[in-house]
């Protein structure tokens, strides 16, 4: 699945959305991810990395 814009542009869009609608940044990032066709931002991460290496990285994060 190809993104409509580079990641930095999508993040900038989410930051602007967060400010304009007075919502948390994570909610704005999730909304942008949904608009791009992903269920969550984790879906974007897994798509950009291979599913296997992404899953291993996610499993190694202790701060969840």
The total of structural domains in the chain comes to: 1
Could you tell me which residue, 8 or 38, shows the higher pLDDT? 8
Q: Which has more confidence, 4 or 61?
A: 4
Using a cut of 0.75, tell me whether the model's pTM lies above it. no
The answer to whether position 2 is within a domain reads no
As a whole number of angstroms, the distance between CA 55 and CA 50 comes to: 8
> Does residue 20 lie within any of the structural domains?
yes
Looking at residue 43, what is its pLDDT? 62
Confidence band for 18, pLDDT divided at 50, 70 and 90: very high
> Residue 18 domain-assigned?
yes
Distance of CA 63 to the CA centre of its chain: 18
Domain range for 45: 7-60
38 within a domain of the structure (yes/no):
yes
Is 1 contained in some domain?
Answer: no
Q: How far is CA 54 from CA 20, 44, 50, in A?
A: 32, 10, 6
Q: What is the pLDDT of residues 25-64, one digit of tens each?
A: 988 888 888 888 876 666 666 666 554 554 555 555 554 4
Q: What are phi and psi of 5, to 5 degrees?
A: -155, 165
Question: Left (φ > 0), alpha (ψ -120 to 50) or beta: where does 29 sit?
Answer: alpha
């Amino acid at each position: 699945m190809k993104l409509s814009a580079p990641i930095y542009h999508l993040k900038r869009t989410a930051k602007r959305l967060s400010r304009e609608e007075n919502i948390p940044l994570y909610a704005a990032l999730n909304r942008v991810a949904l608009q791009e066709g992903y269920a969550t931002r984790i879906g974007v991460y897994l798509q950009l990395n291979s599913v296997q290496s992404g899953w291993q990285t996610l499993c190694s994060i202790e701060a969840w």
